[in-house]
Copies of this chain bind each other. A is one copy, B any other.
Amino acid sequence: MDKNHTASVLIDLSAAIVSVRGDQPVCLTVPDVSEYQTPGLPFGPFYPDRHRTMEIGLRQWVIEQTALDIGYVEQLYTFGDRGRRSEGPEGADNQNEEEHIVSVGYLALSKQCPQPDQWSEWYKHFPWEDWRNGRPNILNQQIIPYLEAWSGSDEFRRHRLQQVFGFPDKAWNDEFVLDRYELMYEAGLVWEAYADGRQKEKISAQNGIAMQLDHRRILATAMSRLRAKLKYRPVVFELMPSAFTLTQVQKTTEAILGAILHKQNFRRQLAKNELVEPTGQMSKARGRPAELFKFKHDENQSTNLPGLRIPLGKSRNF
């Protein structure tokens, strides 16, 4: 059947497997293979014969290939336009018979991250997203000037610039990671735009480390989703060990949000929502020892729990 032939595709499951190492959110990557030395997200094919659902299929190859214990898994988005890669200037189309691929992106959270060299820090790929030490320099020094030139007098472009980058007079919104990346892609400000043939010349500035195919876009989607979810579901605890101090929870939250939070108010929220309970033990470190807590609903699904409202503060406009 001709119809069936043109409609048949392969399914790739790509995963942004996220963990936190120290005070840096990290993401599992696979070694670079192309001439451009860009890392990529782990992915594997979905075999509908073997696995009843895609999530089962995903968990299967993650266990097989990484031996990781991923608890929380969430589907992000399905991209049907990965064909981009064949439009790029990098050479001939290598796929036989123009086999199409649909990629389903997943977000997974892992408490541990062994083998440090395989985990890549979020903010090396997105340096403009980490505001913990104030407004990142790269914004004023590179990104914003370029984007302003790009938008020119185009009313729509200027409006988007204001919406997603908060330039010139709106607040920065930490959830717009994907929107910002896509705007930069459109403006030819990231390497992937060059690889996909959207712009002819390789950009001079290094706006974060690029990734293979649309993997940086998937990571951006994961970051957006995780930052948003953190605010209404207690997913942080999927990244915490079984016992932790309240400061550790806060540091992990801050790492993901890329922003500093008010300590006392953060703890007030944790207390009000009754998400943690004391273990009785104390941590030993520098300074006054902190009480060790554990997540109250560890046995249950963390889905549909009250969630932790994050005290974001008012003056987020630097």
**B-contacting residues of A (Cβ < 8 Å)?**
3-4, 6-11, 45-54, 57, 75, 77-81, 83, 98-100, 102, 104, 156, 159, 163-164, 173, 176, 179, 300, 304
Contact = CB atoms under 8 A, between A and B. Distances in A.
A4 to B, nearest CB: 7
A268 B200 CA distance: 51
Contact of A9 (B48, B51, B79): B48
B304 A80 contact: no
A80 B7 contact: no
30 contacts: A3-B45, A6-B49, A7-B10, A7-B11, A7-B45, A7-B46, A8-B8, A8-B9, A9-B9, A9-B48, A11-B80, A11-B102, A48-B80, A48-B100, A48-B102, A52-B81, A52-B83, A53-B79, A53-B81, A54-B78, A54-B79, A54-B80, A57-B80, A75-B78, A78-B78, A78-B104, A80-B104, A156-B300, A159-B300, A164-B304
Number of copies: 2
A100 B9 CA distance: 11
- Secondary structure call for the A interface: mixed
Contacts of A51: 80
Contacts of A50: 6
B6 A47 contact: yes
Contacts of A46: 7, 9, 80, 102
